[in-house]
Structure 1
Amino acid sequence: MSDAEEPTATAIAPFDNPDGDIILRSTTDRVDFHTFKFILSLMSPVIKDMFTLPQNGLKSGESSVPIIPVAESSATLESLLIFYYPAATPKAFSSFSHAVAVMKAAKKYDMQVVLNRTVDLIIAQFLPDRVLELYALFCQLGWQDYAQIAATQALEIKDLGRPSHVFNGMRNITAFDYHRLLAYHQECGVAAQDVGKSPFSGNHIFELVCDTCACFTKNLSWFNEYLDKSGKELLMRPCESTLWESASYIHATIKAFGDTSCYDCKYKLVEGIGAFRALYIARVKEAVAKVKLADADQ
Structure 2
Amino acid sequence: MMSDTPPSDPHPTSTLAEAPFRDADADIVLRSCDRVDFHVHKFILSKSSPIFIDMLAMPQPPDAGGSPELSVVNMTEDSRALKILLGFMYAHAYFPSFGHFDDIKIALDLIRKYEMPGPMDMLKRCLMNVAPTAPERVFALAWRYEWKDIVLAAAKHADGRLPLGPSDFAEFRNVSGEAFWKLQDYQNRRKAVVAQLALNWKAWLNPSRLGRPVAGKPNRCYCVQYRRGTRSKDWAHALTVPYWWVEHMSRLYNALAKDPRSEIITSAAILGPTLKDAGKCEVCRDGVEGALDGFNGLFLTHLTYKMSQVELETPF
TM-score range, shorter chain: 0.7 to 0.9
Q: Which residue of 2 aligns with 1:186?
A: 188
Secondary structure of the residue that 2:315 maps to in structure 1? coil
- Tell me by how many angstroms 1:81 deviates: 2.4
CA displacement, residues 140-166 of structure 1 (integer Å, 9 cap, x when unaligned) = 444433332322221032xx4656995
- Tell me by how many angstroms 1:270 deviates: 0.4
Aligned CA distance change for structure 1 residues 9 and 260 (closer, same or farther; 3 Å): same
Q: Which residue of 1 aligns with 2:296?
A: 277
- Tell me by how many angstroms 1:89 deviates: 5.4
Alignment-mate amino acid for residue 190 of structure 1: A
Say which structure is richer in helix. Answer: 1
Find the aligned partners of 1:198 and 1:38 in 2 and give their Cα distance. 68
Find the aligned partners of 1:84 and 1:215 in 2 and give their Cα distance. 74
Checking the alignment, whether the CA contact within 8 Å between 1:131 and 1:154 is kept in structure 2 is yes
Q: Which residue of 2 aligns with 1:112?
A: 117
Find the aligned partners of 2:38 and 2:123 in 1 and give their Cα distance. 20
Relative to the length of structure 1, the TM-score reads 0.73
Q: What does 1:44-123 correspond to in 2, within 5 Å?
A: 44-51=49-56, 53-56=57-60, 61=67, 64=70, 67-83=72-88, 85-86=90-91, 87-88=93-94, 90=96, 100-118=105-123, 120-121=125-126
- Tell me by how many angstroms 1:185 deviates: 0.3
Check if 1:175 corresponds to 2:181: no
For structure 1, list consecutive stretches of 5 or more residues without a partner in the other structure: none
Pairing partner for 2:272 from 250, 254, 258? 250
Secondary structure of the residue that 1:238 maps to in structure 2? coil
CA displacement, residues 164-194 of structure 1 (integer Å, 9 cap, x when unaligned) = 9955655555332121011100111122234
Q: Which residue of 1 aligns with 2:150?
A: 146
- Tell me by how many angstroms 1:69 deviates: 3.9
Find the aligned partners of 1:215 and 1:48 in 2 and give their Cα distance. 83
Aligned CA distance change for structure 1 residues 175 and 267 (closer, same or farther; 3 Å): same
**Largest Rg, 1 or 2:** 2
- Tell me by how many angstroms 1:119 deviates: 5.5
Relative to the length of structure 2, the TM-score reads 0.69
Alignment-mate amino acid for residue 202 of structure 1: L
Checking the alignment, whether the CA contact within 8 Å between 2:160 and 2:261 is kept in structure 1 is yes
- Tell me by how many angstroms 1:33 deviates: 2.0
Q: Which residue of 2 aligns with 1:233?
A: 255
Q: Which moved more, 1:181-190 or 1:107-116?
A: 107-116
Pairing partner for 1:34 from 14, 36, 39? 39
Checking the alignment, whether the CA contact within 8 Å between 2:166 and 2:177 is kept in structure 1 is no
Pairing partner for 1:14 from 15, 20, 27? 20
Alignment-mate amino acid for residue 149 of structure 2: D
Checking the alignment, whether the CA contact within 8 Å between 1:209 and 1:268 is kept in structure 2 is no
CA displacement, residues 16-56 of structure 1 (integer Å, 9 cap, x when unaligned) = 12234554332x133332334554456434335545x3343
Q: Which has the higher contact order (CA 8 A, sep 6+)?
A: 1
Q: Which moved more, 1:285-294 or 1:72-81?
A: 285-294
Pairing partner for 1:131 from 131, 135, 158? 135
For structure 2, list consecutive stretches of 5 or more residues without a partner in the other structure: 1-10, 219-238
Secondary structure of the residue that 1:104 maps to in structure 2? helix
Find the aligned partners of 2:128 and 2:90 in 1 and give their Cα distance. 21
Check if 1:289 corresponds to 2:276: no
Equivalenced residue count is 281
Alignment-mate amino acid for residue 232 of structure 1: N
CA displacement, residues 182-236 of structure 1 (integer Å, 9 cap, x when unaligned) = 1100111122234333678523x5444559x845933344334333432332232
Over aligned residues, Cα RMSD in angstroms?
3.9
Identity among equivalent pairs (%): 23
- Tell me by how many angstroms 1:238 deviates: 1.5
Aligned CA distance change for structure 1 residues 71 and 162 (closer, same or farther; 3 Å): closer
Alignment-mate amino acid for residue 291 of structure 2: G
Aligned CA distance change for structure 1 residues 222 and 104 (closer, same or farther; 3 Å): same
Secondary structure of the residue that 1:136 maps to in structure 2? helix
